[in-house]
Structure 1
Amino acid sequence: MTSGNLTTAEQAVLDEIEEKDVDFLRLQFTDILGTVKNVSVPARQAEKAFTEGIYFDGSSIEGFVRIQESDMRLKPDPETFAVLPWRTNDESAAARMICDVIDTSTGEPFEGDPRYVLKRALDRAKEMGYTVNAAPEPEFFLFEEDEEGRATTTTNDAGGYFDLAPKDLASDVRRDIIYGLEDMGFEVEASHHEVAEGQHEINFTYDDALSTADNVATFRTVVRAIAAEHGLHATFMPKPIARINGSGMHTHVSLFTEDGENAFHDGDDEFDLSEEAHAFLAGVLEHAPAITAVANPTVNSYKRLVPGYEAPVYVAWSDRNRSALIRKPAARVPAASRIELRSPDPSCNPYLALAAIIQAGLDGIERGLDAPDPVRENIYEFDEAKREEYGIDTLPANLGDAVDALDEDELVQQALGEHVYEKFVQAKRHEFSEYIVEVSEWELDRYLETF
């Protein structure tokens, strides 16, 4: 396969398709809510996908466009080509490429494409002289399926934090997931059993923020597919089981200068953080309530964000403990200086969450904000009076409060863009309004026979 109209990267994809006998391509993108979508085409359409794009009906995608303006075009990013490990057999293979969404009426990037929202944030960082690196720590649960293949909340092990087999019965599943991720180009840093039974974490190494968001979307797909091969259901629901720890996605962020230096590092600072790092951190703290709507976007997210289950609910930072919203992890080398935002959960749209975090931090740098002093005590043990003494606010208590905070934060609204902001808020207000009129089993058990 050759064409004079292709870039070197695009031609390399065509060559790999032929070499690896790829039959089908999944052209992947996400909707505003972060659900991975794909248009599957025969691999012979790859060159056309690069030169002309692949058209689809945008009106069928959550939050994209109205029926009268439905034509959208997918523009594949050749740098994201990867063969799908669970679809490979002796004869053929399937592969995926992540796409940018193009508005066919203008020929410009579609403003409702979450990947474009993140690209805008990275463009702003570039204008300020920075590139952005990020590294997530996504957690998930593995549950058994019932006789009909539906998900249950029965875990297949009794392991705890860092446990080994035989308690950690899912170690083989994690191994296969890691092999699959590595086959797709991931650099896996570590994996382990998490605190709760059936809960796991796989960390991949830091990368530029766009690649990281792409990786999170791919990660969720790979984990689910390989878990299903083992007869298990993988879920990234933040709190699938009451009264135990939920699943988070702690997110590490750092800025680098154009000459490759870590802009967050200053060896003369008490915390090894530069002025830019302190200002970035202050920006994230200031906009934390609005960021929460994006980084914790489901009703269920707020069942995780409660005191007592290792989830951060207090708007503060620390260099020593994990009870604060932002932690400054220890760094062995200057290049590793970073901040860790501990509130996001794996149900979020990674493109929108990273865009909101980055834009908030850059706002802190542009305005020269001063970070408050770190809190080195365990905030979980503070009473309300002591939190007030320290000036520590709490994150929104539920999705409705978080969306209200987003409605009051112009910076995060601008980070999302008018289209995404309006569609996101519309969807989330509808979700919350549906939730508050439901009657739970807990309420029935508590009140039905009492009153």
Structure 2
Amino acid sequence: MPYKLIDGKIAPLTFTAEEVMKRLKEDKIKFIDLQFTGLFGRFHHTTMDAKMFRIEDFADGLPKVDGSSIRGFTEIHESDLIIRPDPATYATIPWIEQAPTARLICDILSGGSKRDIFPRDPRGLAKKAERYCGEQGYDTSYWGPEVEFFVFDKLEVNTMTPYQGQSYHITSREAPWSSDNVGYALRLKDGYLPSAPGDTLMEYRNQCVDVLTNNFGIVCDAHHHEVATAGQCEIDIRFDTLVNAADSVQSYKYIVKNIAQKRNMMATMMPKPIALDNGSGMHVNVSLWNKGKNLFYDPDDDYAEMSQTARYFGGGIMEHAQALASIVAPTTNSYRRLVPGYEAPVYVAWSTGNRSAIIRIPAHYKGQKFSAMKRIEFRAPDPSCNPYLAFCAIMAAGLDGIRKKRDIGDPVKEDIFKMTPKRRRELGITQLPASLRQAYEALESDSAFLKPILDDETIEKIIEHEERENVEVSVRPHPHEFALYADV
């Protein structure tokens, strides 16, 4: 659900089908961009003349998708799918100036007479996760994703001649290797909250926030430069319910990429594009509510004001952490981020302030006044993931922990990165997968917790896709291997 600011307060901005039809005329919209998400997180679209759009299309959908051409959807003999626009997602696209254009996010329906939600529609699965949460006795869950990304001046990639060599070259006026930084370079791992002129992207982020808030109804708290050099950014968006938060992440990615391109730059959600520097994460904050009460808050817990429900939810995430990695960190590049020494969580542990653990319980404030802020922060996800599937998987793991009463255990207050392997074993601290292959193999052996939301075929499609991408990378020599081994 989009939001808007009214007299400094956040208010929901809901559109019905009738209101959207009215807005199309008032905004003089000429084209409607119908957007949907593929199984592996890619944002797709098809565009139609606004004059051809009917109010009935909100109920009946439109026969606009060949499912066999969307990776992970259907085979060629069952390819006809329908997209059904959600009127609540109406937004105008300000960077398309020649012909005023609006967008609508769509659900995907199976073709034929039934027109059920397509079983591998990520947004449909997110709605299923919300229903499952309600069936377990929680009427609301809130999700606060923290999406990081890089903005480069230019990215050149040569992969077309693998036998002659493959290469990439990143150009950024902020980077220490750039000749354009006029002495204000941001050193590796030294880019957190610098003022201008070191931070060259403040105006860019201002524009992104303006579009997020005023055009797409996605309320932003703040924005800043992140730790890495070469244009690492974060824009903080307001927490929301599961489907709405996933919609916001997809819109966020769409907006920051397009505004960067309009400024002759390139935004990327690649988790680890720069060697020897921090990568981009997508920390996910989650809490369960019932009848307006945050069920993760307990004032009697002296350490973290964390309820038993929250402890079980976090215990479920920790129990299934290796399998979850396959969905929340779904690329080979994800595991170049998940290494010790770069603030990325590697170890299956929890604490309040310990950023080396996969679960953190933020404790900036304490007391009943701040009870609404009590949440679990899961730090393993990165922005390459499909947010609909990531939230589904986290929900399934957490609810499995509640059902099985899997307590989260004792917090780890030491820096796990500095521990000896023996000390980690003494504390029972395990590690996240070190590669995509280890992650999808973990999912193969531990997927039962997902079954209330994801069916077997969806899980199989995820594993097949990741296995194929792992092979794509593993069969190619890495450039640094020539430096290490060419003279052996």
Normalised by the size of structure 1, how large is the TM-score? 0.94
Taking a change above 3 Å as real, the CA distance of residues 408 and 146 of structure 1, as seen in their structure-2 partners, is closer
Could you give the per-residue CA deviations for residues 189-228 of structure 1, whole angstroms, max 9, x where no partner exists?
1110001111111110101111110011111110000011
Confirm or deny that 1:167 pairs with 2:198.
yes
For residues 304 and 371 of structure 1, what CA distance do their matches in structure 2 show? 25
Confirm or deny that 1:204 pairs with 2:237.
yes
Letter in 2 for 1:62: R
For residues 358 and 473 of structure 2, what CA distance do their matches in structure 1 show? 26
Confirm or deny that 1:430 pairs with 2:468.
yes
Partner SS, residue 53 of structure 2 = helix
Confirm or deny that 1:67 pairs with 2:76.
yes
Letter in 2 for 1:304: R
Partner of 1:3: none
Q: Displacement, 1:394?
A: 0.1
Confirm or deny that 1:32 pairs with 2:39.
yes
Could you give the per-residue CA deviations for residues 359-411 of structure 1, whole angstroms, max 9, x where no partner exists?
10011111122111011111111111000000000000000000000001133
Partner of 1:123: 131
Partner of 2:100: 93
Letter in 2 for 1:103: S
Greater shift in the superposed pair: 245-254 or 7-16? 7-16
Counterpart mapping for 1:252-271 below 5 A = 252-257=285-290, 259-270=291-302, 271=304
Q: Displacement, 1:121?
A: 1.3
Partner SS, residue 153 of structure 2 = strand
Partner of 1:138: 147
Confirm or deny that 1:388 pairs with 2:420.
no
Which one has the bigger helix percentage? 1
The partner residue of 1:190 within 210, 219, 222 is 222
Gaps of 5+ in 1: 1-6
Partner of 2:437: 400
For residues 35 and 46 of structure 1, what CA distance do their matches in structure 2 show? 25
Q: Displacement, 1:53?
A: 1.1
Taking a change above 3 Å as real, the CA distance of residues 279 and 288 of structure 1, as seen in their structure-2 partners, is same
Partner of 1:9: 16
Partner SS, residue 15 of structure 1 = helix
For residues 247 and 377 of structure 2, what CA distance do their matches in structure 1 show? 19
Partner SS, residue 201 of structure 1 = strand
The partner residue of 1:155 within 169, 172, 179 is 172
Partner SS, residue 409 of structure 2 = coil
Confirm or deny that 1:444 pairs with 2:476.
no
Could you give the per-residue CA deviations for residues 252-306 of structure 1, whole angstroms, max 9, x where no partner exists?
001110x111011111112211111110000011011111000000000000000
Partner SS, residue 111 of structure 1 = coil
Partner SS, residue 85 of structure 1 = coil
Q: Displacement, 1:413?
A: 4.3
Partner SS, residue 108 of structure 2 = strand
For residues 417 and 152 of structure 1, what CA distance do their matches in structure 2 show? 41
For residues 266 and 30 of structure 1, what CA distance do their matches in structure 2 show? 37
Counterpart mapping for 1:317-336 below 5 A = 317-330=350-363, 332=365, 333-336=370-373
The partner residue of 1:356 within 383, 393, 416 is 393
Letter in 2 for 1:22: I
Residue-pair matches, total: 440
- The answer (yes or no) to whether the contact 1:75–1:101 under 8 Å persists in 2 is yes
Q: Displacement, 1:156?
A: 2.6
- The answer (yes or no) to whether the contact 2:20–2:90 under 8 Å persists in 1 is yes
For residues 45 and 313 of structure 1, what CA distance do their matches in structure 2 show? 51
Taking a change above 3 Å as real, the CA distance of residues 146 and 256 of structure 1, as seen in their structure-2 partners, is closer
Partner of 2:311: 278
- The answer (yes or no) to whether the contact 1:312–1:342 under 8 Å persists in 2 is yes
Could you give the per-residue CA deviations for residues 1-45 of structure 1, whole angstroms, max 9, x where no partner exists?
xxxxxx970000111111001111111111111000011111123
Partner of 2:458: 420
Counterpart mapping for 1:198-347 below 5 A = 198-257=231-290, 259-270=291-302, 271-330=304-363, 332=365, 333-347=370-384
Partner of 1:4: none
Letter in 2 for 1:346: P
Gaps of 5+ in 2: 1-13, 160-167, 175-184
Q: Displacement, 1:152?
A: 4.6
For residues 224 and 82 of structure 1, what CA distance do their matches in structure 2 show? 17
Could you give the per-residue CA deviations for residues 423-445 of structure 1, whole angstroms, max 9, x where no partner exists?
11111111112221111111112
For residues 410 and 46 of structure 1, what CA distance do their matches in structure 2 show? 41
Could you give the per-residue CA deviations for residues 319-347 of structure 1, whole angstroms, max 9, x where no partner exists?
12211100000253001100100110000
Confirm or deny that 1:368 pairs with 2:376.
no
For residues 15 and 469 of structure 2, what CA distance do their matches in structure 1 show? 45
Aligned-residue identity in percent: 43
Partner SS, residue 465 of structure 2 = helix
